[in-house]
Amino acid sequence: MAGDVCEKRGRSSARSERLTVARASTGLSNVADYLAQRVHGAAIAAYGVAVVAKGEVATAAGGERRLGFGEAVTTRSPFHICSCSKAFAALLFDTLVREGAVSWDASVLPIVPEFELADPWTARHCTFRDLAGMRVGLTRDSIAEWGFRPDAPVDTRLRRVRDMRFVAPFRDRFSYSNLNYIALATAAARIAGAPYHACLERLVLGPLKLVRAEATAEAVHPHMPIAGQMTPVPELTGDNSHGSARVYLSAEDAAVWLDHMLQLCVAAPNGGSELFACQSVVRPRSRSAEMPSVWGYGFGWMLAEHDGRQIHSHGGGGRGWRAMTILDAEQRTAVMVMLAHEGVAAEALAFELLDLVAGRSPRDWNARFSERATCEANARNATLDLRHRSASGSPPHGNLDGLYANSVAGRIRMTSDKDGRLRFSAEDAPAFDAILTPLADDVWDFRFDNPALSRMPNDPLFQARFVSGHDGSIQVETTYFGTLAKLG
């Protein structure tokens, strides 16, 4: 780290802020001033930022660990980086490959027999390269993908894969799945003969001298804007999410991580790590000259064209946390933004800082990413909305209370409460416990109990519709949990 470390203090209307920046000859010296202006008064509970440019480093942090408790966030405060953790799992597995313990092209099933896909041929031929390259083709609509109870053993979660549908042909194109990386982490632990977190510590975190924190009192708390106010919300992941999430970094650790990954990325075209080579092709709905154009996926990294250069990036989100990592090998620059926040602010701020370090005025990335997110959400929700689909049977009459199930979601209990409202309780996903509220055309909307699932502007629709079969059976069609059949 070059130069003297200085601190600047400011105060927003909601909290105190602390910025720590290494003075440097590049645009890094402007990072503190820019963040003080950019974040001042914004609806962000806490932030941690790391920037590396041509060997020089800047780190910054601000806000409160948990709003209302007065504990300031510093550059040593760990944030959950959510899906940016996938790059750690990929590096861990790549280390095992380079040590000769396993091959990227080895079959998954002998080591992780729980990962038994619905198609037997695909299950037999699926390799670790397919997992890490996001080209298996699994759907993202299921509690096994996201929302499974955090205290469940990882093998219990992975066994749900057997009954999950495919949304893309095997090895045809990029198809994102948390389960791919949960299976990859499970395999790494079994190959190394130790729990995943111990393997990560021994092979990645320890050698890089990173200080890892679990989701304990030291970590920054997730926050979401609820009813116009930033509110602490519960953490929804557990140890059965290792590989796909569950890495915690401070801004100082993020700077070390970025520097290491940037060195690997720079060396990659000359026979370095496979981590940054394209493993699956991303087929975007549209391209824009004003936005980074993602075209491929490596091992834990998206590949994109940006300002005429190739960059590598990955985002992460977890209901109250947002993170964004960018590696620009050509410019020898890397950025990581970690927020206790919802929405596109982490992506936008990361690209703004990339502009700043490059010596140009930051563009309005927040407006661009917000517009894209809204367009994508509108298109997705238009296809999800059950009100626009014809019912598969006449609406049922009588009592809807009872036990419903399918092989992926497990058992769901519907009960009428004392006020006559219908309650939805998922045995294997208590985070989704909700009241079902009637909408038009016999469609019901979910109102979740958990504040972490409070409705955000670009969230997917959660809807349900009860239908009767000719034999008198009752099913409930849903937009996330599949079709559930009433038992008994």
What does 193-210 look like in DSSP terms, one character per residue?
Answer: TS-HHHHHIIIIITTTT-
Nearby residues of 230 by Cβ (< 8 Å), 6 or more positions away: 14, 43, 44, 45, 67, 223, 224
Strand-pair category, 333-339 with 46-53:
antiparallel
The answer to whether residue 306 scores a pLDDT higher than 50 is yes
Min mean pLDDT across 10-19, 89-98, 449-458 is at 10-19
Q: Minimum mean pLDDT among 264-273, 351-360, 478-487: which range?
A: 264-273
Residue 318: count of CB within 10 angstroms of its CB: 22
Span 45-98, pLDDT tens digits: 999 999 999 989 999 999 999 999 989 999 999 999 999 999 999 999 999 999
Express as a percent the part of the chain with pLDDT over 70: 90
Model-level pTM? 0.92
Q: Is the pLDDT of residue 3 over 90?
A: no
In the chain, CATH 3.40.710.10 covers 5-88+195-380
Residue 154 predicted with pLDDT over 90: yes
How many of the other CB atoms lie within 10 Å of CB of 392? 12
Tell me the C-alpha distance between 324 and 315, whole Å: 4
Distance CA 39, CA 212 (A): 26
Instruction: Identify the pLDDT of residue 31.
Output: 82
| pLDDT exceeds cutoff 70 at 24 | no
Q: pLDDT at position 16, please?
A: 30
pLDDT above 90 (res 125): yes
pLDDT at 21 > cutoff 60: no
Q: Does residue 446 have a pLDDT over 70?
A: yes
Sign (positive or negative) of CA dihedral 191, 193, 196, 202? negative
pLDDT at 22: 40
Four-way CATH pick for 390-486: 2.40.128.600, 3.40.50.1000, 3.30.470.10, 3.30.200.20: 2.40.128.600
- Rounded to a whole number, what is the distance in angstroms from the first to the last CA of the chain? 67
Q: Which region among 16-20, 135-139, 153-157, 191-195 has the lowest average model confidence (pLDDT)? A: 16-20
Domain with CATH 2.40.128.600 in the chain: 390-486
Query: Residue 399 has what pLDDT?
Result: 79
pLDDT-wise least confident of 298-307, 321-330, 358-367: 358-367
Model confidence pLDDT, tens digit, residues 172-185: 999 999 999 999 99
Give the separation between CA 304 and CA 310, rounded to whole angstroms: 6
What is the dotted CATH code of the domain comprising 5-88+195-380?
Answer: 3.40.710.10
pLDDT in tens, 232-289: 999 999 999 999 999 999 999 999 999 999 999 999 876 667 999 999 999 876 667 7
CA dist 132 and 90 (Å) reads 7
What does the pLDDT read at residue 470? Answer: 76
Q: How do residues 187-200 score in pLDDT, each as one tens digit?
A: 999 999 999 999 99
The whole-number average pLDDT for the span 158-164 is 97
Helix (H) or strand (E) holding 465: strand 463-468
Residue 420: pLDDT band with limits 50, 70, 90: confident
Which pLDDT does position 14 carry in this prediction? 31
pLDDT at 286: 61
**Quick one: average pLDDT of 149-175?**
97
* Spatial distance between the Cα atoms of 139 and 479, rounded to a whole number of angstroms: 12
The answer, yes or no, to whether residue 204 has pLDDT greater than 90, is: yes
